[in-house]
Structure 1
Amino acid sequence: MSSATDVLTRKPRNIAIETNPNHEINVVETEILEPGPNDCLVHVRATGICGSDVHFWKSGKIGPSIITQGLGLGHESAGIIVKTGSNVERLKIGDRVALECGIPCSKPTCEPCRTGRYNACPEIIFYSSPPVHGTLRRYHVHPAAWLHPLPDSISYEEGALLEPLSVALAGIERSGLRLGDPLVICGAGPIGMVSLLAAHAAGAAPIAITDIDENRLAMAKKLVPRVRVVHIQRDEDAKASAERIKQVLGQEAKLVLECTGVESSIHTGIYASRFGGSVFIIGVGKDFQQIPFVAASFREIDIRFQFRYRETYPKAIMLVSEGLIDLKPLVTHRFSLEQGKDAFEAASNPAAKAVKVQLLDD
């Protein structure tokens, strides 16, 4: 087996995937940076395309994050260390790692960082969020403190999927899901799928999952055979959809995990909830939305939100390595870095029937 550093000789070009204010996807060549004293240079072996990557490409912004120049995409990555900084002792060349891409300031004067809520750090940088380039590239310099070693039992593809799994785990933990809680998951996209896997492992019962795409619902059924699927019609009234969900679930939901951010889906989740239930919104949608206020108010339904995740990677690695969550079936399409444009077309085109598209580099 060749040394991890051999790749720098075999593949000296640092290929990256970028978008820009003109809504283009470009395969570009960038500089290979030297790691700082506390950093590692990682050969990124697998990166998944997130819905936010597609949104930045198509819309040019998410909330206050606006693309004003070329931006490297990607933040769902795993790879192998090929260089280490002078102060790095915990990791070494050849270590396989998952990349956690939200880097807080970690200053002792920062209250969120000091209290462990580092996802709320006001100075946090997030790779692939403007103006910080993402990890969808061959070589990426990353702070060693935010690299998580992977056991041999976890592949690079699974390591890249630890990021969306972290989103799901953060949502389930914050939502307070318990054994035997009747659950509805709105949306069978990548986040909905990993939320299904995590909720199944956590003991939610019964579980229903919704989507407008019957292919994704069929895949959800393969992932978790006991899940109950509800095919949502595009023009169906939210109350009517909710009634069908309750019939399939056999009761009203104690908890709804809303994984789309779509206004009509949020409405459906509210109508499907029991008195005192919760609608936990994980999906990212439009800046401003309306809600059925009286329906939520008169039934004391809690509507809550989530911003990324914190301290989830070690738990995600443990759950996958112990066999409680199987991420492998989620990757439906694979491309090389040079095929970046094709990869984004597949990720954004419903006809491709993609769940998770990944770009791989050996």
Structure 2
Amino acid sequence: MWYLLTGSDVVFFSTPPFHEGSLCEPLAVALAGIKRVGLHLGDPTLIWCNRLDFAKKLVPGVCTVLIECDLTPKDVTQKIKAAANGPEVAIECSSVKSSVHTAVHVTQFGGKVFIIGVGKNEQVFPFMHLSANEIDVSFQYRYANQYPKAIRLVAGGLINLKPLRGRRRPRLVRHRFKLKDAVSAFRVTADPSQGAIKVQIQD
């Protein structure tokens, strides 16, 4: 004789959905940068990256500037200043030499260039431009103690990482792969023509 006892449904709060959980890491990077650079709500900031159409959908009202690859950092600076003037803070997210130089030249007098990412072991900086314009340069490599804040923001609904898409909010994770197809996932990540923002590998 067997007896089956049923229990109450249990909601596990310790394990978030994989999609949201995996995006807490890049969110922690952004939160650490915001804290270190001292940004506040409403501060005008130049964020130096790509995916212009995606940025327009994600952040309504953002001013984007299309940059041709054959332009020099000073040429790019003129395009940015014509569109949005010189920012007090420039956040550079690639650590590529030309991108860093553009961030330096576009930042206004007494401003700050904040570099997130991993670049070459040694780089050349426009030293005299930085000195004459009293521009501070700072860096970020880690993101200590930011996960609790990231989880609170997501749990409280202040930041939405859910896999939704549409006109109002585009999807951050556009490609998903099984673990056995991990090589294909990395190929998509490395291929700009695939339009990947975040690529997720799920077991």
Bucket of the pairwise TM-score, normalised by the shorter protein: 0.7 to 0.9
Query: Any residues of structure 2 matched to 1:1-362 within 5 Å, and which?
Result: 95=12, 149-150=14-15, 154-187=16-49, 211=50, 216-249=51-84, 251-327=85-161, 328=163, 329-361=171-203
Partner of 1:42: none
Residue identity opposite 1:313 in structure 2: Y
Write the distance in 2 (CA, Å) between the matches of 1:158 and 1:230: 30
Q: For residue 235 of structure 1, what is the amino acid of its counterpart?
A: D
- SS of the aligned residue for 2:110 comes to strand
Higher RCO (Cα < 8 Å, 6 or more apart): 2
Q: Going by fraction, where is helix more abundant, 1 or 2?
A: 2
* Partner secondary structure for residue 90 of structure 2: strand
SS at match of 1:161: helix
Over aligned residues, Cα RMSD in angstroms?
A: 1.5
- Distance in 2 between residues matched to 1:161 and 1:223, nearest whole Å: 15
> Which deviations, in whole Å up to 9, do the C-alpha atoms of 1:247-303 show, x marking residues without a partner?
222x21111111011010011101110111000000211111111111111111000
Aligned-pair identity (%): 48
C-alpha separation in 2, matches of 1:243 and 1:301: 18
Q: CA deviation at 1:232?
A: 1.6
Q: Any idea what the Cα deviations from partners look like across 1:191-224, whole Å, max 9, x if unmatched?
A: xxxxxxxxxxxxxxxxxxxx3xxxx210111111
Q: Report which of the two has the higher share of strand.
A: 1
Runs of 4 or more above 3 Å deviation: none
CA distance in 2, matches of 1:243, 1:158: 39
Q: Shift of the alpha carbon at 1:95?
A: 4.8
In structure 1, list runs of 5 or more residues that go unmatched: 1-93, 97-148, 188-210
How many aligned residue pairs are there? 185
Deviation at 1:322, TM superposition (A): 2.4
TM-score, length-scaled by structure 2 = 0.86
